[in-house]
Amino acid sequence: MVLKRLLAGIGFGGASVETRLDVSSTFPGGAVRGTVLVEGGDVDQQVEELTVGLQAVVETEFGDNEVKSSMEFHRIRLGGHTRLVPGQRFEVPFEIPVPWEAPVTTHGGRRLHSMNIGVNTRLAVAGAVDPGDLDPVSIEPLPSQRAVLDALDSLGFRFKKADLERGRIARTRQRLPFYQEIEYYSPGRYRGLNELELSFVADERGMDVVLELDKKPGLFSEGRDTFKSFNVTHQQAVATDWRQELDRWVNALAGRRTLF
């Protein structure tokens, strides 16, 4: 699939940029490949810099409020300091490495609502910078991540939403300034549980699987959150019976609603 989008031209004397992605789907630790086409406008112009990067919408908490903003989490420079004459056209191929911590945007053919990831192309001409536009990219889970996601589906957890939170998860291998939360509604079999949240923090060796349970209150007790993390290699994750592992842990903590 080839995606095309006219990114800029206004205010640049008619110069335009078009980005074509070879494919619109990738995975953590993979790459996004494509070509940037730059075409001259009506006057000679000096191209100072051409870059492409990965961009996401991230939530930041300020007290009781949350603010969403775009954040670049990887950018590469393709070139610059080139004279662009009217009618001139050139193509620049690119390959952007996708960080292992990149958030998952799809699972089982389903887009995870609120995940907005894409390639942003920026052209700096004569002191002006085109703010760019976003060519959407789907990030499929790794086999190790898919094993956990499939297990939750099989246990009856229903996807609620996913988002990216600015901040860090303690005692994980996290390097990016944000992390992903995938939220689920609990099935009726776990009577003491409201919702479950899942986060992956991966690198080339393995991943941290971080789970948070939102427990229902008892008759004489308040609801509370319970955390659990698994540190596994990718090979271990694929070989693990996550359905059994997760069911045993969740059932022990929230299998039934308690009075106290």
Question: How far does Cα 167 stand from its chain's mean position?
Answer: 14
DSSP calls for 209-258: EEEEEEEPP-TTS---EEEEEEEEEHHHHHHS-HHHHHHHHHHHHHSS--
| 69-119 pLDDT tens trace | 999 999 999 987 888 888 888 899 999 999 999 999 999 989 998 898 999
Residues making up the chain, counted from first to last: 260
- 24: part of which helix (H) or strand (E)? none
| 124-164 pLDDT tens trace | 876 666 666 789 999 999 999 999 999 999 999 999 999 99
Calpha distance 93→91 (Å, rounded)? 7
How much is the pLDDT for 219? 35
| 64-81 pLDDT tens trace | 788 999 999 999 999 878
Q: Taking the CB of residue 150, how many other CB atoms lie within 10 A of it?
A: 15
pLDDT greater than 90 at residue 63: no
Calpha distance 157→136 (Å, rounded)? 27
Domains of the chain, earliest start first: 6-139 (2.60.40.640), 143-254 (3.90.1150)
Q: Which percentage of the chain shows pLDDT scores above 90?
A: 63
The rounded mean pLDDT for the chain is: 86
pLDDT greater than 50 at residue 231: yes
Distances (CA, A) of 150 to 58, 147, 155, 182: 25, 5, 9, 13
| Of 27, 12, 245, the residue nearest 123 (C-alpha) | 12
Question: How far does Cα 24 stand from its chain's mean position?
Answer: 14
Residue linked to tokens 């229902």: 216
pLDDT greater than 70 at residue 4: no
